[in-house]
């Protein structure tokens, strides 16, 4: 729904809540689709959310909790009585319910789990981290036997009556081991007496329960999968990952990466729903760290104070040199981080990546050195200073490329998010080292 329309509906909803007309508020909410319901719900004050959610049918409330961020849903559930939450969680998808229970207090989670109609659907999902295939999968799936006929498989689907769309169905043997996959079109067009053993594709793509969620998303994108099977160490089918869950993962990961690119910790809630103190807390740590590291630049300047006094013209080129170095480094880190994210390279590819970027840095440095030499002469400097600026920018660009290629890969080796070393961090490192390179080159060429 378009934003202006949602704003109008939100205004109507707030009026109904101010008048304590919960019946009208419920009617307004129920006219919307679940994502729009969640957007409006997130705009309400905590007290209004707590008052309104129990008044909605459990199925609607479940849809809203599934669409809210994990932190928002956990805060809302924590503010509600357990008896109120149980019928709502009962209506949630098993994987979403498991995520929610994992985010609230253990005592409340245990009480809710004990009151559910079918807790066995959720229990296994609580054993796996949220960011793994086991935490992402749902236990609500239909597994077909390989000796079933096409007609028996279609009847099984009819008896199952799934709530969601069916994309692919996985086939298992009598030991619950995954042996194949078959889609609905194949079942419909096949002869009714044909066994699944003849129809299915035995080359089924699957992942272990401990696989990282980003790897799951990468596999589904690479092979255009709408569902992905999750197995244990014995190849037994444990669950299924749906494409809509993967889309949510990709959005969350992209959001976190973009925020880290700017030198800040990711926000746990929507921007306008995050308090200014929370935003300050997310940013102040990185600002302080960058402030301290930027002081290295001042230390270098003080160390070469005599050289600056002897050749004041050197200072004219400082912003140009460190700015170019920072930009070159940021270009490289962005490229490498993206290549890591999409699987073009692996953390083990340190030396091939370094060699690739080193040669690129040599070419970029040469091109920038020629331009810098001409620019320095155009400013009326003499040949020695022009050669100094030219040589410096060549070395700085090469150094920035080399550093930008190695830092993300080293971060990946140490299980640190590579985006942490991007943007401001990279620029800060290049600033300080670039100045040291500049004055060292100047000392050699100008004899300072």
Q: What is the pLDDT of residues 90-132, one digit of tens each?
A: 888 888 888 888 888 888 988 888 888 888 788 778 878 878 8
Residue 207's beta-bridge partner residues? 230
Report CA dihedral (280, 283, 288, 293) to the nearest 10 degrees. Answer: -170
Per-residue pLDDT band at 295 (split at 50, 70, 90): low
The pLDDT value recorded for residue 21 is 87
Q: Which of 190-204, 313-327, 339-353, 419-433 has the highest mean pLDDT?
A: 190-204
Q: What is the pLDDT of residue 93?
A: 86
Cα-Cα-Cα-Cα dihedral of 252, 258, 259, 264, to 10°? 130
Q: How confident is the model at residue 339 (pLDDT cuts 50, 70, 90)?
A: confident
Give the mean model confidence (pLDDT) for residues 283-292.
Answer: 61
User: Which position has the higher pLDDT, 425 or 183?
Assistant: 183
Could you report the per-residue pLDDT of 207-232, keeping only the tens digit for each?
999 998 888 988 888 888 989 999 99
**Stretch 372-386: mean pLDDT:** 85
Could you tell me which residue, 448 or 323, shows the higher pLDDT? 323
Residue 135 has pLDDT above 70, yes or no: yes
pLDDT of residue 209: 92
Percent share of the chain, pLDDT over 70: 84
**Which residues fall within 8 angstroms of residue 198, CB to CB, at 6 or more apart?**
none
Tell me what pLDDT residue 399 has: 92
pLDDT for 439 equals 81
Q: What is the pLDDT of residue 132?
A: 87
Asked if CATH classification 1.10.730.10 holds for the domain at 271-446, the reply, yes or no, is no
pLDDT digits (tens, 9 = 90+) for 342-363: 778 888 888 999 999 999 999 9
Q: What is the pLDDT of residue 244?
A: 82
Give the model's pLDDT for residue 398. 93
pLDDT exceeds 70 at position 317:
yes
pLDDT (0 to 100) of residue 69: 80
316 or 274, which is more confident: 316
Model pTM?
0.62
pLDDT beyond 60 at 144? yes
If one compares 403 and 296, the residue with the highest pLDDT of the two is: 403
What pLDDT band is residue 168 in, cutting at 50, 70 and 90? confident
User: Which pLDDT score is estimated for 284?
Assistant: 63
> What is the C-alpha end-to-end distance of the chain, expressed in Å?
67
pLDDT at residue 282, rounded to an integer: 65
Give the C-alpha separation, 324 to 327, whole Å: 5
pLDDT at 200: 92
Supply 105's token pair.
């207090």
Partners of 169 in the beta sheet? 182
Residue 252 has a pLDDT of 72
Domain boundaries, the chain: 3-127, 143-249, 271-446
Q: Check if the beta carbon of residue 353 is closer than 8 Å to that of residue 344.
A: no
Give pLDDT, residue 381.
79
pLDDT tens for each residue of 228-264 = 999 999 999 998 998 888 887 777 776 666 666 555 5
- pLDDT one-digit tens code per residue, 1-46: 555 677 788 888 888 888 888 888 888 888 888 888 888 888 888 8
| pLDDT of 275 over the 80 cut | no
- The pLDDT score that the predictor gives to residue 448 is 63
Exposed/middle/buried for 65, CB within 10 Å: 0-12, 13-18, 19+? buried
pLDDT at 203: 92
When pLDDT is averaged across residues 412-440 and rounded to a whole number, the result is: 78
Of the two residues 340 and 196, the one the predictor is more confident about is: 196
Has residue 277 got a pLDDT over 60?
Answer: yes
**Fold entry, domain 143-249:** CBS-domain (3.10.580)
Please report the pLDDT score of residue 362 as a whole number: 93
Q: What does the pLDDT read at residue 285?
A: 65
CA distance linking residue 264 with residue 285, whole number of Å: 8
Q: What mean pLDDT is predicted for residues 143-165?
A: 85
> For all residues of the chain together, what is the average pLDDT?
82
Lowest mean pLDDT among 283-287, 437-441, 443-447: 283-287
Class in CATH terms, 3-127: mainly alpha
Instruction: For residue 270, give Cα distances in angstroms to 102, 275, 279, 300, 396.
Output: 20, 10, 11, 41, 40
Tallying the residues shown for the chain, one arrives at: 448
How crowded is residue 400: how many other Cβ atoms within 10 Å of its Cβ?
Answer: 31
In angstroms, the CA 304 to CA 385 distance is 16
Looking at 19-33, 117-131, 184-198, 400-414, which range is the least confident one? 117-131
The strand pair at 206-208 and 227-231 is best described as: parallel
The label of the residue with tokens 């800040």 reads 264
């Amino acid at each position: 729904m378009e934003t202006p329309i949602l704003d109008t509906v939100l205004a109507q909803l707030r009026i109904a809540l101010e008048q304590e007309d919960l019946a009208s508020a419920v009617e307004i909410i129920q006219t919307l689709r679940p994502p729009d319901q969640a957007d409006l719900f997130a705009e309400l004050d905590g007290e209004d959310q707590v008052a309104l959610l129990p008044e909605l049918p459990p199925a609607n409330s479940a849809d809203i909790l599934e669409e809210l961020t994990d932190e928002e849903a956990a805060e809302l559930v924590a503010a509600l009585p357990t008896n109120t939450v149980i019928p709502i969680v009962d209506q949630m998808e098993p994987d979403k319910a498991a995520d929610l229970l994992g985010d609230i207090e253990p005592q409340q989670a245990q009480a809710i789990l004990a009151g559910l109609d079918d807790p066995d659907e959720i229990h296994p999902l609580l054993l796996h981290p949220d960011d793994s295939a086991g935490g992402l999968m749902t236990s609500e799936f239909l597994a077909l036997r390989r000796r079933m006929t096409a007609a028996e498989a279609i009847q099984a689907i009819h008896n199952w009556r799934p709530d969601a769309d069916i994309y692919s169905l996985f086939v298992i043997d009598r030991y619950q081991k995954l042996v194949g996959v078959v889609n609905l079109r194949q079942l419909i067009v096949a002869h009714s007496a044909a066994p699944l053993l003849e129809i299915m594709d035995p080359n089924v793509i699957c992942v272990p329960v401990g696989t990282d969620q980003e790897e799951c998303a990468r596999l589904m994108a690479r092979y255009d999968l709408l569902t992905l099977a999750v197995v244990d160490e014995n190849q037994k089918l444990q669950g299924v990952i749906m494409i809509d869950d993967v889309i949510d993962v990709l959005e969350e990961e992209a959001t976190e990466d973009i925020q880290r690119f700017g030198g800040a910790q990711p926000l746990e809630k929507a921007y306008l729903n995050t308090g200014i103190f929370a935003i300050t807390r997310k940013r102040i740590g990185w600002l302080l760290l960058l402030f301290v590291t930027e002081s290295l630049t001042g230390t270098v300047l003080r160390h070469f104070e005599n050289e600056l006094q002897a050749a004041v013209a050197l200072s004219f080129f400082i912003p140009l040199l460190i700015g170019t170095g920072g930009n070159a480094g940021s270009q490289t880190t962005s490229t490498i981080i993206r290549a890591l994210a999409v699987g073009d390279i692996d953390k083990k590819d340190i030396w091939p990546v370094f060699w690739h970027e080193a040669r690129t840095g040599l070419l970029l440095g040469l091109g920038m050195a020629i331009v810098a030499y001409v620019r320095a002469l155009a400013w009326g400097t003499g040949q020695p200073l022009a050669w100094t600026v030219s040589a410096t920018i060549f070395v700085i660009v090469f150094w920035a490329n080399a550093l930008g290629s190695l830092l993300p890969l080293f971060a990946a080796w140490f299980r640190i998010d590579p985006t942490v070393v991007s943007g401001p961090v990279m620029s800060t490192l290049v600033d300080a080292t670039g100045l040291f390179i500049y004055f060292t080159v100047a000392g050699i060429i100008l004899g300072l």
